[in-house]
Amino acid sequence: MEKIIGLNFNEIKLKRVDKVLPLSAVNKSVNINDCKVSVDPLLLFQRITVSKKFESNLQEYLQYELSPYPTSLFDSNGMRKTTKATLYDNMIPVDIELDENNVTYIIDGGFLLHRVVWSKDDTFSIILDKYIQYLQTHYGSEIVVVFDGYSDNSKNIKAMEQQRRTAALSKSYEVCFDETMIVPISQEKFLSNRCNKTKFIYMLVEKLKTIDITTKQARDDADVLIIETAIALSEHQKTAVIIGEDIDLLVILIGRTQSHQQEIFL
């Protein structure tokens, strides 16, 4: 339009490149931080139309780069993976002697499953015994092991994260197994299959019950149940020590702990 302002009609020359294009024909990607991001122009137009209340708002909205999703939270593969574990870098470990007669260890079952290393020729019975030996050697008898639940993965608050981890591995298959069977695949691949993990947790829980180790299983993610178990123990003047590596445990613990409660260690 700027090219024809002030010209007489007989002086106007229109070129193909000056043709007005419909939204569907516009290039559907923009460069944001040297990365091409796909854009649906119609969707953006609809969002602006719904959001703006006054004509002056339109100028404000168009000051920013247009994107179908906030690039600070998402990339082309989905939600960006945060580095929450860096919070641990700001923590100062303390060396405190605990009264072993008044300590209960609450152990994250997900942490435990990967902490014990399986050998290639082990049967599942031997592997279960290894878990018992590990717990008794490191934590004694006052133990509560809390496992994740996998009954309905679609409602799990960490379903997307679990899918992301599984996708990083080559697809694992379901194994029909009992205690006498030798593990047919690697530990990592075996536990990446939800059905395998569910059945193995059931076997491990039954094994732990035989030696009077308390177990709990959440409906989905176990983090909240772990913290609730620790808080319940602290209210009975027991020193609770949470064993796990998930930074979410620390965040939930900070949010739920009251000043009058017994100390809880992580």
Domain spans in the chain, listed from the N-terminal domain onward? 9-74, 89-256
- CATH, range 89-256: 3.40.50
> Any residues with CB less than 8 A from the CB of 252 and at least 6 apart, and which?
223, 224, 227
Among residues 42, 46, 37, the alpha carbon closest in space to that of 70 is found at 37
Going by the DSSP 8-state scheme, the letter that residue 264 receives in this structure is: E
Residues with pLDDT less than 70, the chain = 1, 17, 20-32, 36-41, 61-62, 64-70, 76-77, 84-85, 151-171, 259-263, 266
- At residue 208, the pLDDT reads 93
- At residue 12, the pLDDT reads 81
How far is it, in rounded angstroms, from Cα 201 to Cα 214? 14
Bridge partners of 215, per DSSP, are 145
- At residue 137, the pLDDT reads 92
Three-state secondary-structure class, residue 23: helix
Angle among Cα 180, 184, 187 to the nearest 5 degrees reads 100
Sheet with 214-217: list strands edge to edge. Answer: 214-217, 143-147, 103-108, 239-243, 264-265
Contact 39, 30 (CB under 8 A): yes
Among residues 112, 73, 87, 74, the alpha carbon closest in space to that of 248 is found at 87
How far is it, in rounded angstroms, from Cα 201 to Cα 207? 10
- If phi over 0 gives left and psi between -120 and 50 gives alpha, with beta otherwise, what is residue 237? left
How far is it, in rounded angstroms, from Cα 163 to Cα 176? 22
What DSSP string describes 24-70? GGS--EEEETTEEEE--HHHHHHHHHHH--SHHHHHHHTTS---SS-
Among residues 78, 85, 115, the alpha carbon closest in space to that of 191 is found at 115
